[in-house]
Amino acid sequence: MENSNTRINHRRQLANAVLAVMLLLGLFSIQVQPAHAASVPRLVVATPTANSFVPDRIFVRVTVNSQVPIAETKATAGSMPAVSLTKQSAICVTSCDYTGWVDVSSLPWGDFTLTLDAVDVDGISSAPFAIALKHNKAPVIHPDTPLPFEVADPNLAVNVSCADDNPGTDCSSLKLSINGKLLASGTNAIMETLSAEQWLGQAATVQLSASDASGLTSTQSYPIYVENVSNLTTISKEAGLVLDTDDSRTLLWNAYDHRLRIHHRNTNEVEMLPLLVPEQTQLNVRLIPGGAMGSAFDATGFDLPDGFYRKGLDPLGKYSTFVWRNSQLQSLAADDIRVKGDWAAYHAPGGGLRELTLENTASGEVVSVGFTDRFDYALDDHGTLVFGRAGKLFRFTDGAAAQITPNDGFIYRTPVMDGSVLLYARDDTSTNSSTLVIERDGAAADLAGASAVQGDYLTAGGWIAYTVYTEAGQKQLWLRSPSGEDERLTPTSTADSHFVALSDAGEAAYTYDAGIWLSRLQEDGRLPSERIVTDKAKMYWKDRWQVYLGTTWYEVPGTDPGTDPGTDPGTDPGTDPGTDPGTDPAPTADLDGNGQVNRQDAIEFLRTFGTKRGQFHYDPKADFDADGVIWKPDLIAFVKAGHFGPGLKIALKKGAADIASAIDLTSIFPRK
């Protein structure tokens, strides 16, 4: 018979057993639950927002929260195939961002649903996240004229249209303004001629605005020139920025649809190169027999819409060097192309010693000239080439290269050539000084007091144009005749004045007071200089004085026909500094090109300091010694050319020193 203590113990044991069984059952129940039950992926959508209007391509950003790694995140527009989104960070764990572009261009105008979902590595999917959207693009603006860089003289022809994607509807508003002032308006089109005289000689920007019935608005803005060109004769107006011309063709770049074209003026046929060039950055393309040759940033594949893109510090696209011949585009492993007549010179890409090549673009014959370690060389229309290597200059002619400067410890650079006259700079590193040297018929002599900065000198027909900086800091432009007589060209000058071009008769074009001025020479002496056009134009001599201003090609009346003195658009960049279409602009302290030299130009110089040719931020206008690297000699020349105050000089030098201390010099200066 059990006593009470035995029953109590038994009950306790039974209770403990029940508790143990319950605990085991609980643990088993927990254990057999699916691991993903507590971690179903959850979505938080950042963009697009619900009920918004979307264009043909949608940018999607979604955050996925999950305790289990995600295998895939997708976006599905309407009944279209799903698009897999890309994970933005490899180190995120439970909360990760996914992004991607969804193309809805094939969907009709109107409402549709964008569905997002995620699935983890266990195969567990999130709840679908549906967003109601409306496929409705902003109206599209189609300017026939004006295009970017159009010339208002000062009247401006306007032919602009607007199109909306909503079937059967029109744009509700189309407006044109200049510098913020409304000049014309309509609905689907504006066709009239306006006066832009109030902006004569000023920086002018066309602003276009179009709206549709849904309230969506498109805008475009781009520069034009407002210039009195009554003193010029129009040769040709083009549908793009004029880059180069010959007897029957015009090479142009349309900055709105980003296309390079060759216009055959005799037949009005147009060749379009298969490149997408959105910006003017390092755009260097020239006509050759049967096509064109040069380099540009190509954004093919970027799916860029039409519209003007201002020159950026980080250009769009990939830098491409090419030759377009007989309707075929061929990549060219070359850099720093110079074109003169039927000849082209270029060197292999990269640093250090690079093979230099001379090509007859008419016959296709290619000759290896030798090796160069500089980025500046001179080419004439007979195929004679002067280039530098190891501080010496060499001349290639008749199939052979010969050294033309002595082994005297000096550094020789920056040649400029025309006929029997060769100009170049001689640097004395021991005194940090430079001298301009004239070689005429094989005899060399110094031109005392002349600047040896690239772009400060040129030659044509035995004449020499050179620049003098006085002890007081004044910049003067001078001419020397073939007989050796010196003549000061400008009674007054500014830090921004520089030579533009020179004819073999001794007529000179130069910049002064935001314009290009022409000094003509007649039998009874030199005439007073006259302003021809804004200094934003390209002016050169080729049988007569000619001008490229934006989309228009002009002739300067009253020019006696003559021979081609070597300052046409095919000259080397030293012969036509900064106005040779397709070559680097001449060095200048006005880096932002607004006609003023101030603190902003100093900031721009520091931005480009330490860069080399081909890199982002490199600006040939800051490369005063033309060695392909923006470095300390360029800083000295920039400060001298800019006539900055003492405070800004100190700030410039300190800023450059800070940048220099952070740069790996081996990445800038190639090993020889």
Percent of the chain with pLDDT over 70: 85
Cβ pair 369, 357 in contact under 8 A: yes
Mean pLDDT (whole number) for 42-65 = 95
CB neighbour list of residue 215: distance below 8 Å, 6 or more residues apart: none
pLDDT for residue 114 is more than 60: yes
Report how far apart, in Å, the C-alpha atoms of 657 and of each of 30, 585, 606, 611, 615 are. Answer: 67, 26, 10, 14, 20
Of 161-170, 428-437, 638-647, which range is least confident? Answer: 638-647
Residue that has been written with the tokens 């507590």 in this structure = 38
- What is the pairing mode between strands 217-226 and 203-211? antiparallel
pLDDT for residue 22 is more than 70: no
Query: Which of 373-377, 419-423, 660-664 ranks highest by mean pLDDT?
Result: 419-423
pLDDT for residue 32 is more than 60: no
Q: Which residue has the higher pLDDT, 429 or 615?
A: 429
Of 207-216, 470-479, 515-524, which range is least confident? Answer: 470-479
- The pLDDT assigned to 38 comes to 53
Q: Which residue has the higher pLDDT, 474 or 529?
A: 529
Cα separation, 595 vs 189, in Å, equals 36
- The pLDDT assigned to 577 comes to 33
Mean pLDDT (whole number) for 181-207 = 95
- The pLDDT assigned to 485 comes to 93
Q: Which residue has the higher pLDDT, 409 or 602?
A: 409
Q: How confident is the model at residue 467 (pLDDT cuts 50, 70, 90)?
A: very high
pLDDT for residue 43 is more than 70: yes
Of residues 67, 70, 104, 68, the one with CA closest to residue 86: 70
Cα separation, 475 vs 189, in Å, equals 51
Q: Where are the alpha helices (DSSP H) in 507-631?
A: 599-608
Cα separation, 569 vs 541, in Å, equals 8
- The pLDDT assigned to 669 comes to 39
Residue that has been written with the tokens 């920056």 in this structure = 414
In the numeric block, which tokens belong to residue 665?
A: 């010099």
Cα separation, 337 vs 192, in Å, equals 42
- The pLDDT assigned to 583 comes to 46
Cα separation, 330 vs 328, in Å, equals 6
Cβ pair 102, 57 in contact under 8 A: yes
In the numeric block, which tokens belong to residue 35?
A: 């691991």
Of residues 318, 230, 245, 217, the one with CA closest to residue 276: 318
Which class does domain 140-226 fall in? mainly beta
pLDDT for residue 192 is more than 70: yes
Return mean pLDDT, the chain: 85
Q: Which residue has the higher pLDDT, 270 or 628?
A: 270
Q: How confident is the model at residue 653 (pLDDT cuts 50, 70, 90)?
A: confident
Mean pLDDT (whole number) for 508-528 = 90
CB atoms within 10 A of CB 603: 14
- The pLDDT assigned to 381 comes to 87
Q: Is 63 left (phi over 0), alpha (psi -120 to 50) or beta?
A: beta
In the numeric block, which tokens belong to residue 555?
A: 């002739």
- The pLDDT assigned to 350 comes to 79
Q: Where are the alpha helices (DSSP H) in 531-631?
A: 599-608
* pTM greater than 0.85: no
Cβ pair 77, 114 in contact under 8 A: yes
- The pLDDT assigned to 145 comes to 95
Fold match flag (42-135 vs 140-226)? yes
Could you report the per-residue pLDDT of 300-312, keeping only the tens digit for each? 988 788 999 887 7
Reduced to 3 states (helix: H, G, I; strand: E, B; else coil), residue 280 is: coil
Cα separation, 74 vs 432, in Å, equals 64
CATH architecture of 42-135: Sandwich (2.60)
Q: How confident is the model at residue 666 (pLDDT cuts 50, 70, 90)?
A: very low
Could you report the per-residue pLDDT of 348-404, keeping only the tens digit for each? 987 788 999 999 999 999 999 999 988 888 999 899 999 999 999 999 998 999 999
Could you report the per-residue pLDDT of 240-283, keeping only the tens digit for each? 999 999 999 999 999 999 999 999 999 999 999 999 999 988 89
Mean pLDDT (whole number) for 132-150 = 95
- The pLDDT assigned to 310 comes to 83
- What is the pairing mode between strands 463-469 and 475-480? antiparallel
Of residues 78, 87, 85, the one with CA closest to residue 100: 85
Strand partners, 177: 182, 207
Dihedral pair phi/psi, residue 30, rounded to 5°: -65, -40
How far does Cα 553 stand from its chain's mean position?
22
pLDDT for residue 21 is more than 50: no
Reduced to 3 states (helix: H, G, I; strand: E, B; else coil), residue 56 is: coil
Of 153-162, 191-200, 313-322, which range is least confident? Answer: 313-322
- For the chain, domain boundaries: 1-33, 42-135, 140-226, 453-583, 599-668
For residue 69, whether the previous peptide bond is cis, meaning omega lies within 30 degrees of 0, is no
CB atoms within 10 A of CB 356: 27
pLDDT for residue 664 is more than 70: no
Dihedral pair phi/psi, residue 653, rounded to 5°: -65, -40
Q: How confident is the model at residue 671 (pLDDT cuts 50, 70, 90)?
A: very low
Q: How confident is the model at residue 68 (pLDDT cuts 50, 70, 90)?
A: very high
Cα separation, 638 vs 452, in Å, equals 13
Cα separation, 13 vs 574, in Å, equals 106
Mean pLDDT (whole number) for 17-33 = 45
In the numeric block, which tokens belong to residue 280?
A: 């003017």
- HSE-CB at 285 with a 13 A cutoff on CA atoms is 30
